[in-house]
Structure 1
Amino acid sequence: MTAVTDVKGVGEALGQALVAKGFKTAEAIAKAKPEDLVKVSGIGAARAPVLIAAAKQAIVANPAAAKPAAKPAARKPAAAKPATRRAPARKPATRKPAARKTVAAAAAEKRAEEAARKAAEEKAAAKAAEAKARKKAKAKAKAEKAAKKLQEMEAVFSKAKDKVKAKSKKGKKSKKGDKKKDQKKKDDKKKDKSKSKDKKKDKKKAKK
């Protein structure tokens, strides 16, 4: 059997958590389903399939643990065979860098998630700003429309006022003209009267 800690990306804390949930060997992890591993604290939906694949690699890298039937080596005194079988297991140095790579990959994954979160926040902020700008532009357009309508109404009112003024001026002029005509008529009558008087005086003088 391959130990849980031989799996890439599994440290002491995660190994204890896996053992507590019943995953005591790499073989158990390799046979597990992602939804089962997700129940273990520290393992997410993205990490579960990665751990299953790593467990399978650990089993392949440790054939002595994967083949317990090979233990009857005691019957065959040839010690060279178990040495060849155990040789891959004596390469923890290759496993340790792999574990470091997994930690680095986890860190990279975390950074990627953080970047995605920031990008989502920026996108949401941009959408909110765009909606605010649209609302502002709409309000501005509405205000401009109202101002234009008010100007039009004022222009119509001003025209009507000017028209009334023009009519009143015209009325005043016509009244003045009528007064002048009346005055002229009166003056003409007075002249006629004075002429008739003068004629009468002339007649009287002529009689005398």
Structure 2
Amino acid sequence: MTPVEILGWVAALVGTVLGLPQLIRLARTRSTAGLSLFGWQAILVLNLIWAIHGIKIGQANMIVTNLGGLVTTSIVLYLFTKDLGRRLFPVVLPSLLAVVVLVAIDLGLGSTAFGVASLVPAILANAGQIIEVVRSPSVTGVSPVFLGLGLVNQLLWLSWAVLLNEASSKISSFLLVLMIAFNLTWYLLRRAGLRAFFVRPVEAVEVAPDLAGQAEFTGQ
């Protein structure tokens, strides 16, 4: 096995278990405070399109990690919609339609065009989470382990893509490294006491639970 293959499988292993800390925290706390439903809808798109892209370019590590992530993402979305009192299918339908469009780009225009197009759900997933971390009165529903593993995972994929010279993965992973690093940094600042910005008036009453949750900082 070549160094590139080893690195790819390490990234696949990390990616496969990436969502588990967030799933465990969500199941344990029953709290979606600070989580972005829109962000997880975009993550569902990413899991599906990168699994299909992995099939296209014959990279089993990419297939394994995204199929594993798909299972976790689906459960998170189910728990999320249950908490919000919404039905699952209407929530995931926009994601499925986006997958159809992006797969068509991959098959019709090639990997570079796909890499650029895949930035859209990648940006939206992280931007959605960043917005929630910045403005949510409480971030106790967010797993710091999930954010940390996400950063490690993207650094591994970026290294793999550079060694393999895989254009779409390099483009996507580089931007994701920057956004996840910002997300993690802001989360840590919030748990250290930084106040929420741009809080919706209806959410202002939820500030107190966040203070009570400071003791859970080291939890998943």
TM-score by length of 1: 0.25
Larger Rg: 1
Higher relative contact order (CA 8 A, sep 6+): 2
